[in-house]
Amino acid sequence: MGILRRVKELFLAETNGLLDKCEQPLNMVNQYMREFDLELTKGQKALANQLFIERRQAALIAETETQIEKRDRQSRLAVKQGEEHIAKLAIQEKLLQEKKLATYQSQYTTIQEQTKVLEERIAQLLVQSEEFNHRRLLLASRANVASSLKEMSQSVVSFQTENISKGFARVEEKVMLIEAELEAMQRFQSPVKRSAPQYLDPGLKDNIEKALEEIKLKKED
């Protein structure tokens, strides 16, 4: 069971890692651009097919017009030669071709409109492609800058909280110790502090009083 659990955890970790990697901003943008390029390629293929249909229709119209002209010449020639039945057949064929021509021309107009719509759409896609590429460059630049600043910010925050604060505390302690040592030295080295003690010795009380009286008498003289 332990081995199966570890295999499952490894699989989930690798899967999540791959998903995280796929969800990176630049990877997502590149995927979107690939999808857009596929749509653009489909549009270009559709336009190519449409242009082929349009040209084939134009060729069909030209061929029909040729047939109409041919049947017109045949009918006039048959009338000239007195072959009325042949002239009627030629006129009949001409009329049929003219009906076909009207249909073909109507279809050609529709095909041209469809071609125009496709061309406009392709033009829009090309403009969007240029815009998306420009935005991708900007996003790549912003993502790089943001990632760099994020790394810098994380390292600075970690360094300040863990090292600088502790360093300042150590320096403050050392300064306080030096100040305390200096104050102690000044207390013991000061002339005032090195003078006689501030209490009276009971054994010298009488002598002190006598000397004090003598000083007072001399002051009065």
Distance separating alpha carbons of residues 159 and 155, to the nearest angstrom = 6
pTM as predicted: 0.53
Q: Is the pLDDT of residue 166 over 70?
A: yes
Given this model, what pLDDT does residue 109 score?
Answer: 95
pLDDT at 189: 65
How far apart (Å, rounded) are the C-alpha atoms in residues 201 and 85? Answer: 169
Q: Which of 73-82, 180-189, 197-206 has the highest mean pLDDT?
A: 73-82
Say yes or no to pLDDT of 202 above 90: no
71, 94 contact by CB (below 8 A): yes
Confidence of residue 18 (pLDDT cuts 50, 70, 90): very low
What is the per-residue DSSP string for 30-59? HHHHHHHHHHHHHHHHHHHHHHHHHHHHHH
What pLDDT does 207 receive? 72
Mean pLDDT over each residue of the chain, to the nearest integer: 77
Nearest to residue 24, comparing CAs of 192, 139, 122, 181? 139
Predicted confidence band of residue 153 (pLDDT cuts 50, 70, 90): low
Residue 66 confidence (pLDDT) above 60: yes
Q: What is the C-alpha to C-alpha distance for residues 181 and 160, in angstroms, rounded to an integer?
A: 30
Q: What is the pLDDT of residues 96-136, one digit of tens each?
A: 999 999 999 999 999 999 999 999 998 988 888 888 888 87
Q: Considering all CA atoms of the chain, what is the largest pairwise distance in Å, rounded to the nearest integer? A: 184
Which residues contact residue 145 at a Cβ distance below 8 angstroms, ignoring those fewer than 6 apart?
none
